[in-house]
Amino acid sequence: MPENEQPVALVTGASGGIGTALCDDLAAHGYLVVAADIGGAAPASAKHAVELDLRSGDSCRAAVAEAVSHAGTVDLLVNNAGINARGATETMPEEVWHDVVEINLNGTFRMCQAVHPVLSVDGGNVVNIASTGGLVAIAGSAMYGVTKAGIIQLTKILSLEWAGARIRVNAVAPTIVPSPMTADVLENETYMAAKLASIPLGRAVRPEEVAAAVRWLASPDAAMVTGHTVCVDGGVSVL
């Protein structure tokens, strides 16, 4: 099948743990995957790789343009890239707060804005990776939680604003996922015991489970789903 007959997915943060799972899953289910990351790294399942700095609107627009140049279009944008910084809010340096907001929330906004002209031609999908930290309060994760709550609200607003262009915008909110971002706490037995005790189903989320939720939201089976956040959290958000 020619490249331009495949649905094209642009995945940010593609070289991370969840990002790799997203690229692998989408490629396995017929997508041509364009991987976007700060260093231009990409998993083997991606057809193309583009460099992306979410702190720059020009970089976001260039990444979308390069994806279109490589693959002909973009049908699905997955805003997966993000960073975290844990610690007490009262002692958190302002520049650290700024960095998390700049990447997670502002970067998601920039990518949504950059891809809109492409998606508005024939319709398409945006799936934002949020977190249960954006729905429930988690001590020591103020910056991350606030940015993910903002992403959830942005998802709702864009779903309303872009419905007329047949662009569906949804989000996936996982609880803790083993990945490089969570490596600092995965080895902390005290932290993990408390975290797992807060998850009714009693375990962390596998990256592949996040990817499956993203794929469903972008699929024709979810054609009437927009503005929603699907929680892949073992019941955390219902408590």
Q: CATH number for the domain including 138?
A: 3.40.50.720
Asked whether residue 186 is domain-assigned, the answer is no
Count how many domains the chain has.
Answer: 1
pLDDT of residue 39: 87
pLDDT of residue 1: 36
Mind spelling out the 3-state secondary structure of 70-127? HHCCCCEEEECCCCCCCCCHHHCCHHHHHHHHHHHHHHHHHHHHHHHHHHHHHCEEEE
The catalytic residue positions are: 144
Residue 175 CB burial class (10 angstroms; 0-12, 13-18, ≥19): buried
**Helix (H) and strand (E) counts for the chain?**
8, 7
Asked whether residue 184 is domain-assigned, the answer is no
For the chain, list the strands marked E by DSSP. 8-12, 32-37, 48-51, 76-79, 124-129, 167-174, 229-232
* Residue 154 main-chain phi, psi, to 5 deg: -60, -40
Kindly indicate the confidence band of residue 3, based on its pLDDT and cuts at 50, 70 and 90. very low
What mean pLDDT value characterizes the chain? 95
Locate 131 and state its tokens. 């977190």
Q: Which amino acid is residue 28, in one-letter code?
A: A
SS3 49: strand
Residue ranges making up the domain that contains 169: 3-176+206-233
Encode pLDDT of 88-103 as tens digits: 999 999 999 999 999 9
CA 234 to chain centroid = 19
Asked whether residue 151 is domain-assigned, the answer is yes
